[in-house]
Amino acid sequence: MSLWFIGAQAQETVRGVVTDAAGEPLIGANVIEYGTANAAVTDIDGQYKIKVSNASQKILVASYVGYVTQTKKIGGLEVVNFFLEEYQQTLDK
């Protein structure tokens, strides 16, 4: 019977938007629940929705090719927005 309680943990939905520094939505950005395989991908408006268990202690990670990955603690919030900055790297000649 204790296994039933483990599998029946309450899940909470966290949603938000992933944008670049100019406020433009990033289509196809990844939002992952840290330490798990639980993930979501942003839509055409940069919006995502992900179900997590115990949101007050979870961390979300947003990433997009060419941008700096950002990590945020959910802290029980229902809306978590990400503003990603372009990755700046100088190339050696």
Give, in order, the Cα–Cα distances in Å from 26 to each of 6, 48, 81: 36, 11, 12
Query: Tens-digit pLDDT profile for the chain (93 aa)?
Result: 444 444 456 789 999 999 999 999 999 999 999 999 999 999 999 999 999 987 778 999 999 999 999 999 998 899 999 999 998 875 555
pLDDT value, residue 76:
85
d(CA 77, CA 41): 19
pTM across the whole model: 0.82
